[in-house]
Structure 1
């Protein structure tokens, strides 16, 4: 009897994320400080080919920014990041988010995700954490923090013992480092913020952000 079979055969509770995560090789991780920049920033990212957008719950305007982007930016697939609690997952449902992202996973959060409308991309950082998520059907996982935890070499080493898992590494990822991740067979995409630097946002240089987004969208091809 193969004792690993139940884990591999578990319901794929976030399998519906695959089309969203495959929209582009990079998911922008957005920290929106000024609500006025939300829509033009999202439009610039989408124009460059990055349609799956993660708006992190790190500022007071994050949820309202997500609502505005979902309502006003054609082609944007709006996700909510830094989801830590069941209550925040409920907020994702309330605004109709297409996905939610957490830096890690707790039993309470995963229990809430079982009944949530918003599919969750939970975070893992060790084989044990990844196995725990896999037992609950999470074949798509965020790997965080990617670079401090060992980078592409570390994640690549997980491919053989954990062949069912595909990761979205986030944390310290740059364009050059993204190339190394995207060569790995257990990577579905990467998360990063380099295509929307603060100085371009402050300057309202949306064309510059679109150009950087187009470069990011072409990675791994």
Structure 2
């Protein structure tokens, strides 16, 4: 019972972070030092979290470095495909875990370790399965390739309670369409800190892109509040 209780508490924290952030930079880093520079660049632009994917050998060390040195910064661990990667993420201090698909064994292991876990889905069947396994938030991946907002609108009929983090092919100009959907807590985005900018050390451009995304989220939410106020 302790594990499930911890997972439920963590789930609320991650969902709160996603809802507050609106955009989650999805990144592949090559070193812990690079991850620290990246966290500072994102924070300077107004984004206070990121998803570090386990697509590089440096992921665990990078997560540990940022969680140790930047305690106010939220770090998720992405591409967790195995129970071993879940263990590595937990031991590195990750605040939440993410996967592109739904593996019941990995999901159960994350719950047993108290790690809030966001599994992935691209179809109604996969979404149904993730929700049945207790997922609090589901990553819609690959979002654009799978149907984008049209798919989200279709899924909202039978699954109005689903909370989604669409990721894959989304750009800053797409944010208004996605974030206007009630089921979407946040969008994952690789465009904010792509590998070429990281390798070039162009953190100024990453800050610029983070600020653009943060400003867009703020504008969308301000407009939604105004519409709601006028509607009320």
* TM-score computed with the length of structure 2 as normaliser: 0.85
Pairs within 5 Å for 1:157-168: 157-168=154-165
User: Where is the helix percentage greater, Structure 1 or Structure 2?
Assistant: 2
- Report if aligned partners of 2:28, 2:53 keep a CA contact under 8 Å in 1: yes
Residue 171 (structure 1) aligned to one of 152, 157, 168: 168
Which blocks of at least 5 consecutive residues in structure 1 are unaligned?
1-11
Deviation of the 1:198 alpha carbon: 3.5
Deviation of 1:16 after TM superposition, in Å, equals 3.7
Gaps of 5+ in 2: 1-6, 221-232
- SS of the aligned residue for 1:164 comes to coil
Q: Indicate the residue corresponding to 2:30 in structure 1.
A: 33
- TM-score, normalization by structure 1: 0.88
Cα gap change, 1:156/1:208 in structure 2, threshold over 3 Å: closer, same or farther? Answer: same
Question: Secondary structure in 1 aligned to 2:184?
Answer: coil
The equivalent residue for 1:100 is 97
1:87 counterpart residue number: 84
**Do the aligned residues in 1 keep the contact of 2:137 with 2:165 (CA within 8 Å)?**
yes
- Structure-1 separation of matches of 2:132 and 2:29: 34
Query: Which deviations, in whole Å up to 9, do the C-alpha atoms of 1:98-155 show, x marking residues without a partner?
Result: 0000111112112212312211011111111111121222131100011110111111
Partner of 1:138: 135
The CA distance in 2 between the partners of 1:176 and 1:96, in whole Å, is 33
What secondary structure sits across from 2:77 in the alignment? strand
Partner-residue secondary structure (3-state), 1:100: strand
Residue correspondences, number: 210
Instruction: Give the secondary-structure state (helix, strand or coil) at the position aligned to 2:21.
Output: coil
The alpha-carbon distance between structure 1 residues 64 and 184, as it changes in their structure 2 partners (threshold 3 A), is: same
* Structure-2 separation of matches of 1:198 and 1:107: 31
Look up the match of 1:191.
Answer: 188
Where in structure 2 are the equivalents of 1:58-69 lying within 5 Å? 58-69=55-66
Alpha-carbon offset, residue 87 of structure 1? 1.2
Q: Is 2:109 aligned against 1:112?
A: yes
Does the CA contact (< 8 Å) of 1:23 and 1:52 recur in 2?
Answer: no
